[in-house]
Chain A
Amino acid sequence: MKTTIGRWLVPVFGGLAFIFLLVPVAYVFAFSFNDAGRTNLSWRGFTLENWLNPCGAPAVCEALGNSLQIGAIATVLATALGTAIAIGLVRYRFRLNATANMLIFLPLATPEVVLGASLLAQFLNIGAELGLGTIIIAHTMFCISFVVVTVKARVASLDPKLEEAASDLYASPLQAFWRVTFPLLLPGIVAAALLAFAMSFDDFIITNFNSGNVTTFPKFIYVSATRGIPAQANVIGSAMFIIALAIVIGGQILSHRRARTLAAR
């Protein structure tokens, strides 16, 4: 009897936890089809209108455009800077190693309010005007740590002998990097870039401190929460969900295939 309970307890409890995790996602998706008008608080009937006209609510697509632009630039900057740091930290030994590690780890261990508030204090003290530029700087800053952590794991699992073999075959260090190391690191770099974009796209707290009058997508939702969020925001949120899911599943399939072709060789 006791063992039967024990055997079922974990799957049942775990299953409930999965439902808890996914209920709000399903809710957001369902209410993207609500014939809501402006407020989208209660169910008023099914419609495709919101999906056919995602920019129908005022300012929602402007906010989305800002978020995409910020996300793209911050991702490129953070991925470039972070990948270089990750390679430098794993492959080379020098005195600042521990300091650099600390510098990457600390932002991850600091709450977002503090990161946002300190950048704001800095911008206020130097008299910088808050806007797209300051948001991009803020996002690049917190994304670098995520990129370094993600790429570092990949660099550490790489055999340095591959690069040595390339240089034994008279490849210059640059050739060895671009022909051997970089292609092997690419999956890790792509994963890091996707993570950075997702973190940037969804960030609210740090953005709110450093955005001035510029509205991003999360800020738009937060500000309109008091009057009711237009159903178009649910459409954009659901569309992002589907795109992200497709990317993750596609990535899984791709890496499976790659592993299989490598094994077949």
Chain B
Amino acid sequence: MSLLAARRPAGTGSVQERAADRRRGRTGYWLILPGFVFMLLFFVLPVFSLLATSLYTKPPGADIGQFAPALEFGNYVVVLQNYWPELLRSFAFALVATAAALLIGYPMAYLVAVRLRGRKLLQGILLVLIIAPFFTSFILRTQAWKQILADEGPVVQVLRALSLLPQDGRLTATAFAVVCGLTYNFLPFMTLPIYANLERLDTRLIEAGSDLYAGGFTTFRTVTLPLSMPGVLAGTLLTFIPASGDYVNAALLGNNQDTTMIGQVIDSRFFRVVDYPGAAALSFILMLAILVLVTLYVRRFGTKDLV
């Protein structure tokens, strides 16, 4: 009821109410104005700055880092020709990591939200454990994986002894290690939205499924999974978007040849090569590509619950 009152469209009601609405409207503007201006200055304007920089040219004879404003769309052609493999690889790695995180994160969320329903203390402890990795530094944890998976580390030694890995086989400096790192680092972003969704799931619906002689898997496929789609959608987006732009995992767990991701290229174009237009063009391409992919994905699987 109170929500309905708050959502009543402006301009209805008596004269006094309309005056009150206007006054309240003005307070609203003042409340959001400072933050709004901040975001305009340091989020919106920089995106345009990035676009402008991506079209700069290097005048003949200019010093390193000196560029002139221009409309050089050729920058985009050049970086796409040079770096399309890194761009595609970033999306491929992010996609595999997202799928893996979903396969690991969904059972985790299901265990805590549905199987342990009613056991408040255990639920609380496990929920803290899901976010616990965030409490220590993300780079320290990634470095820890590097050392755990290192050639002389325990995992490789055991796998070699069991002949699951060839004697000269290794785990670090491979695409496998990078994807594992991405999966690991973004797993809580996948698990938490699914948990939040499953927590509200009415378990009587699952009971109804088995009352109607559906097997456990059939009930899951036809009842639980469709109902939890908003959580899955949010989780996959929260994993895929940061994973595709990440370069810490690729830098620490990958090698220099076949695991380079687009973030590493953007970073080195900016700071090592000092090619600002190229770096800006790549960033802009990454942003647009993600916007297009996300829009298509949300159109296909989206529900009204999102945003």
Using CB atoms and an 8 Å cutoff, list the residues of chain A in contact with chain B. 2-3, 6, 9-11, 13-15, 17-18, 20-25, 27-28, 31, 41-42, 81-82, 84-85, 87-94, 96, 100, 103-107, 109-115, 117-122, 124-125, 137-138, 140-141, 144, 148, 159-161, 173, 198, 202, 204-205, 208-209, 217-218, 221-222, 225, 229, 233-234, 237-238, 240-241, 244-245, 248-249, 252
Contacts and interface: CB of A to CB of B under 8 A. Distances in A.
Given A21-B133, A84-B35, A85-B35, A225 B139 contact: yes
A139 to B, nearest CB: 10
Contacts of B42: 119, 122, 137-138, 140-141
A28 B216 contact: no
Nearest to B30: A88
Interface string B149-183: 01010000000000000000000000000000000
A209 B50 CA distance: 13
A103 B108 contact: no
Name the residue among B29, B39, B52, B110 with the largest chain A CB count within 10 angstroms: B39
Interface in B286-307: 286-287, 290-291, 294, 307
Contacts of B107: 9-10, 13-14, 17
Given A93-B9, A124-B53, A245-B128, 9 more contacts: A2-B215, A21-B130, A21-B184, A21-B187, A84-B32, A121-B49, A121-B276, A202-B134, A241-B132
B74 interface: no
Given A17-B104, A225-B139, A113 B39 contact: no
Contacts of B137: 28, 202, 217-218, 221, 233, 237, 240
Interface of B: 2, 5-6, 9-10, 21, 24-25, 27-32, 34-36, 38-40, 42-47, 49-50, 52-53, 104-105, 107-108, 110-112, 115, 124, 126, 128-148, 150, 152, 184, 187-188, 215-217, 237, 241-242, 244-248, 251-252, 262-263, 266-267, 270, 276, 279-280, 283-284, 286-287, 290-291, 294, 307
A91 B215 CA distance: 47
A193 to B, nearest CB: 15
B50 A117 contact: yes
Given A93-B9, A160-B5, A205-B263, A144 B35 contact: yes
Contact of A6 (B28, B216, B246, B280): B216
Contacts of A159: 2
Contacts of B44: 103
B35 A28 contact: no
B152 A117 contact: no
Name the residue among B2, B21, B139 with the largest chain A CB count within 10 angstroms: B139
A10 B28 contact: no
Contact of A85 (B36, B112, B287): B36
Name the residue among A87, A106, A117, A160 with the largest chain B CB count within 10 angstroms: A117
Name the residue among A87, A90, A121 with the largest chain B CB count within 10 angstroms: A121
Given A17-B105, A117-B283, A221-B143, A100 B32 contact: yes
Contacts of A117: 50, 266, 270, 279-280, 283
A107 B287 CA distance: 11
Contact of B283 (A9, A81, A113): A113
A144 B39 contact: yes
B248 A205 contact: yes
Name the residue among B32, B111, B237, B294 with the largest chain A CB count within 10 angstroms: B32
Nearest to A233: B140
Nearest to B150: A41
Contact of B108 (A18, A42, A81): A18
A225 B252 contact: yes
